[in-house]
Every structure is written in C-alpha cells, then in structure tokens.
Amino acid sequence: MKNYIKPIIALFTVILTCCTDVIDVDVQTDTLRLVVEASLDWEKGTTGNDQVITLRTSTPFFDTERTNVTGAEVNVTNNATGEVFRFTDQNDGTYTTSTFQPQLFATYTLEIVYNGERYVAEDTMNPVPNITDIYQDTEDGFDDEAIELHIVFTDFEDEGDNYLFKFERPQDLLPTLETGDDEFINGNEVDWWYEIDDDEDEEIKPLLPGDVVNISMHGISRSYFNYMDIVIDQMGGVGIFEATPVDVRGNCINTTNPDNYAHGYFRVTETNRVSYTVE
C-alpha cells in the first residue's frame, strides 16, 4: 500500500522540482564508525556455502574514498546447533567462508572483534516464494510509454512476510532497492512492477530493448525490513514532503562500548536471483 502512496508524495515533490541545483553545504562530521555489510544470502538451487562479509569504516559525507577494514575477527554461529563458521580476512575488507550451512528459519549470530571492541548481531533466515512469471509491459507504472518489468509471485499464506528487491542494470552506477510486505496483499498473487522513469536532467534512460536487468528478491526479517525501509526512503535524498531524515541504526551492537555502534546490517535470507533481457 505504502509502496503505492510513497511515490505520490515523491510526485508532489517532482512537481515542485522545477528548479533544483547542486550547492555547497557545510555538514557536521560524526565519529567514524565500523560499517558491516554481512549479507548471507542463500540463493535457491545453490548450496549457499560460499559467503562474503565486507567491513569498512564510515567517512565524512562528501569524501569519495572508501576505507576497508582489515585485521578483524569474524564468526557466524547457528544459534540452535552451535555450529561456528569462521570468515577469513582477505586483507581487502572482505572476509570469506566456503563452509556456511544455510537453514530456513534458523537464527544466526555474527560476532566481530575489531580494535579491541566486540560487535554482535542476530538475524533469522526467512524463506522467499518462487517467482512464477516475469514479463514486460508499458501499461502500468508512472509513465505509460516506458517499459516496466513485472515479477509475479504468490505471497505465503501466513501474514508477516517481508521482501527486499534489488534491480541492477549493468550500465547504471546505482542499483534500485525496494522493500515490500504483505500487510495489504497477504496470500495474494502479487504482480510487482519495476520501471525506470525517463529523467532528462540526470540522463537516465528508461528500460529499452536489449537492456539486461539482474533481479534479486530476498525473504527478509521484519527488523531488516524496518531498517531497509528507512535506508531506501532516505537514499535519493529527502524532499520537502518526505519524512524528516533520521540516523538509521542497524543490528550490530558494540558490546564493549555501546555508543560506538556500527553501521550496516547482518542479514540472512533466502534469495531468488534472475536476469531478464528486455525485448
């Protein structure tokens, strides 16, 4: 529902954005924090053994450099079985394992020791329904001339399913992320559409024949949904009619020094991955 109404608010803003320009602004600088990108996604039809966790630090807002974190200790534990998966430092900010055992509905704990401080996070692996159809059309979406992709799936019967979609077109620098839940569509066959609006200012082209779109669809926990929902809302910047931006908190707790919390998230999900070539 919200997913439909939010664009409307964005559209109010579109009408107003007759005159936007890029300006120099002084911003405050927070202490630099550990950033955790620990996304253990179990792609359907694979073993899910190979997993990567990336650690970086945050940077001042206008800096363009990225700083990798090396020398951390990274482990993931299956809470029920007590099985521990060690992630090896690749000295480039990534930590990898090839022995991860994914299990639906299992809860996992991430533990990171970095700079003498210990961070922990927990998440539960949620299932994702199969994609039953992908097709293209122009009828729907904001622009009835632009091509949009449709992903069809049937929401699980029980209420409380949450989804994350990621759409990537290789020629674009940034992916599109969307969240969904079944609050208003529980148990229904869902047709989820994705469209790129023509934007002459930013030189973004709508979907055109020949374009490849890589799609991933994750079954996610409610708390991760809440996190991503805010992250996505604030991603492109926050306009006048959108909620005042907030500092979104992930699930990585610093148990040594709680004020020095980490950014990012530890998620475990079941995932569909597909590619679609626009005709």
Partner 1 sequence: MTVKLKRHYWRQRLFFCMVLLLMITSTQVVAQSTYTVSGKISDIKNGETLFGASVFLEGTSIGVVTNEYGFYSLTAPEGKYTLLVTFMGYTDIQQEINLTQNQQFNFEISEASTQLDEVEVIADEPERAILRKPEMSVLKMNIETVKQMPVVLGEVDILKSLQMLPGVTNNGEGTGGFHVRGGAGDQNLVLLDEAIIYNTSHMFGFFSVFNADAIKDVKLYKGGIPARYGGRVSSVLDVRQKDGNSKRFTATGGIGIISSRLALEAPLFKEKGSFLIAGRRSYADLLLKAAGEDNSVSFYDLNLKTNYKINTNNRLFLSGYFGRDAFELGENFSSSYGNSTANLRWNHIFNDKLFSNLSAIYSKYDYELGITSAEFDWVSSITNYNLKYDLKYYFSDTFKLDFGASGIHYEFDPGEIIPTTETSSVNPLILDKKKALETGLYVNAEHKLTEKLTAQYGLRYSAFSRLGGQPITEYANNQPVVYNEDLGIYERGEAIGETVYEKGDAIKTFGNLEPRASLAYTLNDNSSLKAGFSRVAQYIHLLSNTSSATPLDVWTPSGQYIDPQLSNQYALGYFRNFKNTAYSMEAEIYYKNTDNRIDYIDGSDLIGQNTIETEILKGESRAYGLELLFRKNEGKFTGWISYTLSKSEQRTPGGNAGGLGINDGNWYNTPYDRTHDVSISGSYRLNDKWSFGTNLVFQTGRPVTYPNGQYEYEGVSIASYSDRNSDRLPAYHRLDLSVNYKPNRKPNAKLKGEWVLGIYNAYNRKNAASVSFGQNIETGANEATRTAIFGIVPSITYNFKF
Q: List b or e across 164-188, with b for residues whose CB sees 16 or more CB atoms inside 10 angstroms.
A: bbebbbeeeeeebebbbbbeebeee
Closest listed residue to residue 99, CA positions, set 111, 84, 89: 84
d(CA 162, CA 217): 10
Q: For residue 80, what is the DSSP state?
A: T
The residue (of 134 and 231) whose beta carbon lies closer to partner 1 is: 231
CB of 265 to partner 1, least distance (A): 7
d(CA 119, CA 262): 8
Residue closer to partner 1, measured from CB, 44 or 166: 166
Contact 190, 162 (CB under 8 A): no
Record the tokens describing residue 171, joined without a space.
Answer: 């020629």
Nearer to partner 1 (CB atom), residue 135 or residue 184: 184
Q: Could you tell me the smallest distance in angstroms from the CB atom of residue 192 to partner 1?
A: 9
Smaller CB separation from partner 1, 12 or 135: 12
Decide whether 80 or 174 has the Cβ nearer to partner 1: 174
Minimum distance between the CB of residue 222 and partner 1, rounded to whole angstroms?
10
Instruction: Output the CA angle 93-96-101, nearest 5 degrees.
Output: 145
Nearest approach, Cβ of residue 78 and partner 1 (Å): 20
State the minimum distance, in angstroms, from the CB of residue 234 to partner 1: 7
Question: At closest approach, how far in Å is the CB of 98 from partner 1?
Answer: 23
**Closest CB to partner 1 among 78 and 216?**
216
Residue 128: Cβ-neighbour burial (10 angstroms; 0-12, 13-18, 19+): buried
